[in-house]
Amino acid sequence: MRNNRQAGARYENAAKDFLITYGYEIIAQNYRSGRHEIDIICRKDNQLIFVEVKGSASEVFGDAAHKVNLTKQQSIIAAAQGYIQNANVEYDSYRFDVIVVSDKQGELLIEHVEGAFTL
């Protein structure tokens, strides 16, 4: 279990660094609303973005949106709604992204799917 948590933290940190490199401002990590969680909340160009990070031990990306099943999407949306209700800032729009981080012999490869799913 500890190795899974360490790998998850490694993947989330890689995703966070990727987002920062591309001009996103990180607002929160591992945000919880009730029993629901969002890996990363960030913003860019007055758009609020909720990011689910998925890790993979292989270099095969596949369809990132399918890596987040409907139940997980609903959980992320519920957490996002909790965040929006508690935030003191208005945004022009909201988006749900998925970042898949794959480990290829120690090198992390990143696939970022913007708008991977919607409300």
Reported as half-sphere exposure (CB side, CA atoms, 13 A), residue 56 has a value of 19
| CATH code, residues 2-117 | 3.40.1350.10
pLDDT (tens digit, 0 to 9) for every residue of the chain, 119 residues total?
457 778 789 999 999 999 999 999 999 999 999 999 999 999 999 999 999 999 876 655 555 556 799 999 999 999 999 999 998 888 999 999 999 998 888 889 999 999 999 87
Tell me the whole-structure pTM to 2 decimals: 0.89
Domain parsing of the chain, residue ranges? 2-117
Q: For residue 31, give the H/E element and its range.
A: strand 25-33
